[in-house]
Structure 1
Amino acid sequence: MQASTTSTTPVVLTAKALLLDMDGTIVNSDAVVERCWRDWARAHGLDPHEAMKVVHGRQGYATMALLLPDRPMELNHADNAVMLARETADTEGVEPVEGAPEFMAALGALPHALVTSADDALATARMAAADLPMPEVKVTAECVGASKPDPEGFLKGAAELGVDPADCVVFEDSAAGIAAGRAAGMRVIGVGPRAAAHGPTLHVEDLTSVRVAPDPSGSIRLTVHTSTA
């Protein structure tokens, strides 16, 4: 398979607000996620490799429901609380996605929100471990009744920023997150290797391929060097 490269002709988008997923998009937490979820999968007699195909992007209870469809949901919620506590305490290997510090600095006071399947404690721990600024507006697990791929989180983020969904651009890395952004009626920039296969509007290898600046119209101007096969 030919390796991905970066195109020489950038794509320019304008948006009124950016909605950012956290894990895999601006924070690389794969090491922790794999440690915790592989242990959980083995403890429940599941193939860890197969489990890892569905854990990204969803709240933990929703992942558990997919992997153990006949299991009572209250057990999933109980296990999810334990999982969140373990993940919050484990920040070994958590680091910013390449280009994320510059990307977040460029956003500055421009309208943006974090929309993550992590709860507030986990989001706070991982953003701090990656040394990234926490957006003023954040939609965490406690704020929604449905996990991605449901669009509720992104729609809530847009509403809190006072921006129409069609004027938002989502940054996501997972199948569930990309589906949620598209279901919300938003354009989606897929970030990293997981994103390319799931139909984002544009795809980049990491955030070094995105430039953010205020547009004279009052919008946000995104210059995106897309990855091509």
Structure 2
Amino acid sequence: MSNITLSVSALLLDMDGTLVCSTGDVEKVWRLWCQHHQLAPEPVLAMCHGMRSREVIRALAPQLDMAQEVALLDELEIHHTGRGEAIIGGRAVLASVPAGRWALVTSASQRVARHRLASAGLPLPALLVGAEDVIKGKPDPEPYLLAAARLGVAPADCLVFEDAPAGIESALRAGSTVVQVGGNRRLDPAVAAVIQDWRQVKVGDGAGGALQVTLLT
């Protein structure tokens, strides 16, 4: 196992599949939604991971009322998902990062994100960029550009942790360095490293007030 050490100003973290083991819950909710509308689930499940519900609806069921369907999906998320499980090592890493030096950047709504973090026993970040905070969701770079701006740092000085193709593309287009969480192969050749869980991440103090992030790859 070799190490990669990076000096960054802030960490920007996705939630589903990155901090919380929630792939099954996400698919359960979308299957319920498809059943409600008598839609085939396969196209939805192929697209939904890492993307806002409104992008999925716009692409696959544009005839439906957007606001009504987004609200319905949020209700399904809250009432039909179980207790979340944090990905191994995540709590320890978050505890080692100063509160103002990391943000959550998720395609979930603020309400769902707070519910899922609480159910997994993870702390709420000082900054949470959710689905309703941006005009364009992942894979557009807007979510990560907004998070960096609100933290007062350059996107190029941020290290992003992502698990899904849409999120990885969003972060790369924002100009950030990206670490992929999970998977046996790089989803994009520009990804700096692939880790399986947060035990492979160590965060300490770097030179000039930077965060020193060591990846055990």
**Fold-level similarity (TM above 0.5):** yes
Alignment match, 1:30: 23
C-alpha distance in structure 1 between counterparts of 2:182 and 2:96, whole Å: 20
**For 1:192, which of 182, 200, 204 is the aligned residue?**
182
- Relative to structure 2, which stretch is displaced further, 129-138 or 212-221? 212-221
* Secondary structure of 1:211's aligned partner: strand
Give the 3 Å change call, closer, same or farther, for CA 164–127 of structure 1 in structure 2. same
Contact kept in structure 2, 1:56 and 1:174, CA below 8 Å: yes
Q: Distance in 2 between matches of 1:208 and 1:51?
A: 32
Could you say what secondary structure the match of 2:138 adopts? coil
SS in 2 for 1:197: coil
Corresponding position of 1:94 = 84
Equivalent residue for 2:216, pick from 194, 214, 225? 225
Alpha carbons 2:83, 2:120 under 8 Å: kept? no
- The range that moved more, 47-56 or 128-137, is 47-56
How high is the TM-score relative to the length of structure 2?
0.92
Change over 3 Å in CA distance of 1:185–1:128 after alignment to 2: same
Question: What is the CA–CA distance in structure 1 between the aligned matches of 2:215 and 2:2, rounded to whole Å?
Answer: 9
Tell me which residue corresponds to 1:160.
150
Instruction: Indicate whether 1:55 and 2:44 are aligned.
Output: no
Q: How far is 1:93 from its partner?
A: 4.2
Task: Say if 1:144 and 1:60 are closer, same or farther in 2 by CA, change over 3 A.
Answer: same
Counterpart residue number, 1:5:
none
Q: CA deviation at 1:89?
A: 2.6
Equivalence for 2:196: 205
Distance 2:66 2:188 in 1: 26
- Structure 2 distance, partners of 1:52, 1:214, is 40
Identity %, equivalent residues: 37
Distance 1:155 1:179, change over 3 A: same
The answer as to whether partners of 1:150 and 1:180 remain within 8 angstroms in 2 is yes
Q: Secondary structure of 1:153's match?
A: helix
| Residues in 1 aligned to 2:40 and 2:117: alpha-carbon distance in whole angstroms | 30
Instruction: Identify which range, 127-136 or 186-195, moves more after superposition.
Output: 186-195
Change (3 A) 1:77 1:138: same
Partner residue of 2:109 out of 119, 124, 141: 119
Which one is further off, 45-54 or 185-194? 45-54
Structure 1: stretches of 5+ with no match in the other structure:
1-7
> How far off its partner does 1:26 sit?
0.5
Change in 2 beyond 3 A, CA 1:194/1:82: farther
Deviations 1:142-201 (Å, cap 9, x if unpaired)? 211111111111111101111011101111111110000001011111111288323422
The alpha-carbon deviation at position 41 of structure 1 amounts to: 3.0
Contact 1:36 1:87 in 2 (8 A): yes
Structure 1 residue identity aligned to 2:176: M
- Residue 104 of structure 1 deviates from its aligned partner by 1.0
Equivalent residues, number: 216
Letter in 2 for 1:117: S
Kept in 2: contact 1:57–1:175 (CA 8 A): yes
Instruction: Please tell me the residue identity of whatever aligns with 1:154.
Output: Y
